[in-house]
Structure 1
Amino acid sequence: MTSNQPTILVIDDEPQIRKFLRISLSAQQYRVLEAANGAEGLAQAALAKPDLLVLDLGLPDMDGQQVLSELRQWSQVPVLVLSVRASEGEKVLALDGGANDYVTKPFGIQEFLARVRVLLRQADGGEQAPARVQSGALSIDFAYRRVSLGTEEIALTRKEYAVLALLARHLGRVVTQQQLLKDIWGPSHGEDSHYLRVVVGHLRQKLGDDPAAPRFIVTEAGVGYRLREGG
């Protein structure tokens, strides 16, 4: 986080709300960026690396819960949800999905600013995870959920992408079978290693990766898998 002027990205489709927040946050010496939809917000989050993100859930192109889910694939930036959705279920879904705080509209600006200050204080200030990882000719772009081999984009299923993305976030390090299964299939699937073998097999086919002499995905027998650094 910059020491003198933290950057806050506001993702909200209501111009009046964005203007109100821009004026209020700027008066507190914050630098404010704006996005009117989810896709634009994710792109700005990847490019500008803000210190805090304020996220509305009712966006025109994608639900804010989906924006949060995609953001958490590659960034741990603090997220303050600001939404008219006041139900306990929506709040729990957002907080379980990686939001750091939740404020319902209409809201008091002093309380909102106090919550912003708390989240900025809590931010550890460490480096953000990279928005893109390269392993030889293989490229994983977390911001756009895009996987390319050389100049060719590779179409992956949700599970195939999730496995590859998790390996990429731990580039060069072994990720255990149990961790992959629990993170992607859920806590009750920690022993269902056949699910993982099938998905890894499909991934290798699509990437043209020979398991006997892998360029990308290496099997660590009895432990798990790793994505080769440098490929």
Structure 2
Amino acid sequence: MNATLLYIEDDPEIGEWVSSFLKEKGYQVIWLKGGEKAVESAASCKIAILDVMLSGLDGFTVGHRLKRAFPGLPILMLSARTSIDDKLEGLQFADDYMTKPFHPEELAARVEVLLRRSAVHSSEPAVLKHLTVYEDENRIVNRETGEEILLTGKQFQIFMYLFRHQGRVLTKEQIYESVWGESYIEGDKTLMVHIRYLREKVEKDPASPEIIETVRGLGYRVRA
């Protein structure tokens, strides 16, 4: 099965045309008409294709959020904007930038290039305590039992955000805003609840966590 692509385009006619073409090429396509759920949807994707001029969150904002959450995720920007300033802004985080109108075969070719480049630079599985983390496959395995640890989308995003910043204390605000893409409201217990359930799955003893450490008054960190 070919890679799963995240495609964000709010124009229904263009979106249907592009997503249908990519499916004909053999890709699995998650098509969103807005960027609010982009980070949540990207966890299973190998590449993101973003339109710049979206209603609600613009493509630049969505792109930055995706790169913070998934630094290795290739991003291809699509835009009717042709100015050099727009291209430079997009290429601060994106891996490629195509201007509209475009030929679908060129889009497919650029997707293939980004996927090949990503595969070449894919990282080896990482070991963390009793866990093996297959970042490119979105999998975590308990090395002692050989069993895959099944996480929800949010749990996986939280874990990977902490994992990619091993040894660094991350505030609740940083984690929440990266994973949910929204401003953190002081007193919100959502993240704390997710961390508790996450520990129940990845820790040997959730009551005495060895992987996800609470730093009182500051936030959390994954011990390097």
TM-score (norm 2): 0.61
Aligned partner of 1:229 in structure 2 is 223
Instruction: State how far apart, in whole Å, the 2-side matches of 1:145 and 1:19 are.
Output: 26
Moved more, 123-132 or 107-116: 123-132
Residue 143 of structure 1: CA displacement? 2.1
In the alignment, is the contact (CA less than 8 A) between 2:9 and 2:32 conserved in 1?
yes
Structure 1: gaps of 5 or more residues: 155-171, 173-203, 210-215, 218-226
**Following superposition of structure 1 onto structure 2, how do residues 83-94 of structure 1 map, counting pairs within 5 Å?**
83-94=79-90
> After superposition, what is the alpha-carbon deviation per residue over 1:46-86, rounded to whole angstroms, capped at 9, x for unaligned?
4xx20111100111111111111111111021111011111
What are structure 2's unaligned runs of at least 5 residues?
124-134, 139-155, 192-210
Contact 2:39/2:69 (8 A) holds in 1: no
Q: What's the secondary structure of 2:21's corresponding residue?
A: helix
Amino acid at match of 2:82: A
State the alpha-carbon separation in 1 of the partners of residues 11 and 73 from structure 2: 23
Which of residues 18, 23, 48 is equivalent to 1:26? 23
2:149 counterpart of 1:112: no
| Aligned mates of 1:228, 1:52 — CA distance in 2 | 26
How far is the alpha carbon of 1:19 from its aligned partner?
A: 0.9
2 CA distance for matches of 1:109 and 1:103? Answer: 11
Q: Distance in 2 between matches of 1:228 and 1:24?
A: 41
Map residues 129-208 of structure 1 onto 2, 5 A cutoff: 131-133=157-159, 140-141=175-176, 142-145=178-181, 152=189, 208=217
1:16 matched residue in structure 2: 13
The CA RMSD measured in Å over matched residues stands at 3.2
Residues in 2 aligned to 1:81 and 1:228: alpha-carbon distance in whole angstroms: 32
Q: Which has the larger radius of gyration?
A: 1
Aligned counterparts of 1:145 and 1:13: Cα–Cα separation in 2: 19
Match of 1:64 in 2: 59
Q: Is the 8 A contact 2:39 2:181 kept in 1?
A: no
In structure 2, the residue corresponding to 1:122 is in which secondary structure? Answer: helix
In 2, Cα distance between equivalents of 1:88 and 1:80: 16
Shift, 1:28, TM fit:
1.0
Deviation at 1:27, TM superposition (A): 1.2
The answer on 1:80 being equivalent to 2:76 is: yes
Relative to 1, partners in 2 of residues 1:20 and 1:85: Cα closer, same or farther, differing over 3 Å?
Answer: same
TM norm structure 1: 0.59
Distance across 1 between alignment mates of 2:181 and 2:78: 25
Q: Are residues 56 and 153 of structure 1, via their aligned partners in 2, closer, same or farther at CA, if it must alter by over 3 Å?
A: same
Quote the offset at 1:42 in angstroms.
Answer: 2.7
Summarize deviations over 1:162-191 as a string: whole Å, max 9, x none.
xxxxxxxxxx8xxxxxxxxxxxxxxxxxxx
Determine which of 116, 123, 142 is the counterpart of 1:121: 116
Q: Is the 8 A contact 1:71 1:143 kept in 2?
A: no
* 8 A Cα contact 1:81 1:103, kept in partner: yes
1:144 maps to amino acid: W
Cα deviation per residue 1:85-133 (whole Å; 9 max; x = unaligned)?
Answer: 111111111111x101011111111111111110111113442585214
Identity of aligned residues (%): 29
Match of 1:168 in 2: none
Counterpart residue identity of residue 143, structure 1: V
Matched residues in 2 for 1:55 and 1:82: separation?
6
